[in-house]
Amino acid sequence: MSAPSIRLSKYPFSTNQLILLVALYFTLVFNFPFLKEVASTVLALDSYNLLFLATVPVLAFNLCTILFSLLSARPIIKPALIGLTLISSMVFYAKLTYGVVFDYGMIQNSAQTNTAEALSYLNWHLAAFLLFTGILPATFILSVKLRHQPRMSSMVSRVKLITISILSMVIIVALFYPNYASVGRNNRQLQKSSIPFTYLVDSFKYSKDHYFTKPRSFKILDASPTLEVSDSGRKKVIVMVIGETARAQNFSYNGYDRPTNQATKKFGLISFEKMFSCGTATAVSLPCMFSALTRDSYDELDAKYEQNLLDLVSLAGVDVLWVDNNGCKGVCKRVPTINIDVKSDNPLCDGEYCFDEVLLEPLKEKLAHLTAPTTLIVLHMIGSHGPTYFRRYPSETRPFKDDCQRSDIQNCSIQSLVNTYDNTIAYTDLVLSEVITSLNTLPQDVQPSMLYVSDHGESLGESGAYLHGFPYAFAPQEQKHIPLLAWFPEQRSPYIDKTCLQSRARGDSFSHDNIFHSMLGMLNVHSTQYDKNLDIFAQCKSPSAQEGMRLTQILH
């Protein structure tokens, strides 16, 4: 490939020729998945027009031509085309290999990814792919000698090219508008697959929202929430464990035929079988579940500039501690936080990641020094974060031995990939069992409970999709269906009717929308933001649950 490029580079190209050549490359190579999806969609219809289908690559080619023409000023054309080629090569790899779409949510997720997480995607398969689809074409663009044209002549030439492209598009749309309107309206996911338009538009939106939007004033949802505590002085401790990338279908509690929940089996956890996430990436789901906003009304900036669950319960007088092994996406910024140091000499850490057992020591330390009537401890796991699933559990804790010890997971067998992922679930279960064991050692005058919920799920090759972060509207079920587990010890939880809760857990559907209100209810925090209808546990509280309780209000 490089030899022909060198020969071609000896001959001067006009700017228009370079634009057309790169536009053709983008259309036939980078947009191959897009064209394939369009073809599959159209050919699946009862009746279709092959001529309409033939115009789709022509339309894509004209759009690329117009875009590149707008970037054709002499000093910037090569840097712009080279930059777009290299970025598009990476986006193309993500789409072709994992089925990932770089829309607003994925760009947000990428922007908030730490270095260790980003490096986990590097492998020889990716390097070879980027070399052939990105670096070599970029080298060719760099080596091309552009023919000199007077400025006015160059501008006229470019205007002609743009005009021809626009006229071509107008003719196509005029002839096939009903086809484009019908296919586009009924298959909106296709609009997310075009390269480079999707990631350029959504990158612009993300940059505007985060770097060019005037900071808002912080919104107080409730200035005076109150905490209900026991007259007897009995303390309450709730440990909320936030899972990472755990999908419900791989939990034994939900009917999975593999022993992924052996460690907690003896504790009688309640599994909510129909639980769904707010988003398909941590950057969305984590702030969303702690926000008073529902998934339908969720807006990242709204959530960022208003009180969340932690703010409200802390203001009411709950002693809050967040222990983080994964990054809290701004949720914990106003409460006491312990960030796990991956570079510490702890044997559970390797300089880039720490196994989730590292969360147990801060938990035990906090449990040994309970001072407030009500305490909320949030443990944020790294859980099952991919693609390096094999780095999420110690080798001695893997019950499924033939696992995938590499990051290019698409090159592993499905069975070894599932084994690796199931090892992460089994290890999460082991950590949860240690959390419960620690809570069980508390004095009898302390009332403990635990809630575990994942941020989103994961695809493991189903229908060619891997990882997570797909646009919610057409994300597969595996990325949205998540586990929710609750533990209430028999002798210390008289306020919960477990039979009632088991029935709800098996039959009713829930989502992250319920977390905010359920946690307010569990903590006995009274707030104007509380909605009893969204509290999972409200219907199953025993009639005597409120006896011997009194309201306290912390003044600030």
CATH of the domain at 284: 3.40.720.10
For residue 339, the SS3 value is: strand
Question: Does a structural domain hold residue 228?
Answer: no
Question: Does a structural domain hold residue 226?
Answer: no
- φ/ψ region of 330 (left if φ > 0, alpha if ψ in -120 to 50, else beta) reads left
**Rounded Cα gap, residues 401 and 393, in angstroms:** 12
54 and 103, same structural domain?
yes
Strands 319-324 and 374-380: parallel
Angle (CA) 254-259-260 rounded to 5° is 70
pLDDT tens-digit map of 47-77: 788 999 999 999 999 999 999 999 988 789 9
Query: What totals of helices (H) and strands (E) does the chain contain, helices first?
Result: 18, 15
Question: Does a structural domain hold residue 128?
Answer: yes
- φ/ψ region of 216 (left if φ > 0, alpha if ψ in -120 to 50, else beta) reads beta
247 and 194, same structural domain?
no
Q: Would you give the DSSP letter of residue 131?
A: I
268 and 124, same structural domain?
no
353 and 418, same structural domain?
yes
Classify the C-alpha dihedral 247-253-259-265 as positive or negative.
Answer: positive
423 and 527, same structural domain?
yes
Question: Does a structural domain hold residue 533?
Answer: yes
* Rg, Å, the chain Cα set: 27
449 and 485, same structural domain?
yes
Question: Does a structural domain hold residue 222?
Answer: no
**Count: domains in the chain:** 2
Which runs of consecutive H residues, i.e. helices, occur in 212-348? Answer: 282-289, 300-304, 309-316
Of 177, 211, 245, the position where a domain reaches its end is 211
Which residues, 6 or more positions from 292, have their beta carbon under 8 angstroms from its beta carbon?
Answer: 221, 306, 307, 308, 309, 516, 529
201 and 248, same structural domain?
no
Q: Is 218 exposed, middle or buried (0-12, 13-18, 19+ CB in 10 A)?
A: exposed
Question: Does a structural domain hold residue 116?
Answer: yes
Other C-beta atoms closer than 10 Å to the C-beta of 57 total 18
Strands in 118-272 per DSSP E: 226-230, 235-243, 270-271
pLDDT tens-digit map of 481-518: 999 999 999 777 777 889 999 999 999 999 999 999 99
- Would you write out the chain's pLDDT as a tens digit for each of its 556 residues? 444 444 545 678 899 999 999 999 999 999 999 999 999 988 988 778 899 999 999 999 999 999 999 998 878 999 999 999 999 999 999 888 888 888 888 888 777 777 777 777 778 889 999 999 999 999 999 999 988 888 888 889 999 999 999 999 999 999 998 888 778 777 777 877 899 998 898 898 888 887 887 888 999 999 999 999 876 778 999 999 999 999 999 999 999 999 999 999 999 999 999 999 999 999 999 999 999 999 999 999 999 999 999 999 999 999 999 999 999 999 999 999 999 999 999 999 999 999 999 999 999 999 999 999 999 999 999 999 999 999 999 999 999 999 999 888 988 999 999 999 999 999 999 999 999 999 999 998 899 999 999 999 999 999 888 999 888 988 999 999 999 999 999 777 777 889 999 999 999 999 999 999 999 999 999 999 999 999 999 999 876 555 455 555 444 4
Question: Does a structural domain hold residue 45?
Answer: yes
272 and 179, same structural domain?
no
Question: Does a structural domain hold residue 122?
Answer: yes
178 and 314, same structural domain?
no
What integer pLDDT is reported at residue 178 of this predicted model?
82
Of 193, 211, 229, the position where a domain reaches its end is 211
199 and 151, same structural domain?
yes
Per the listing, tokens 């490089």 go with 2
430 and 547, same structural domain?
yes
98 and 243, same structural domain?
no
Strands in 167-214 per DSSP E: none
Domain range holding 147? 2-211
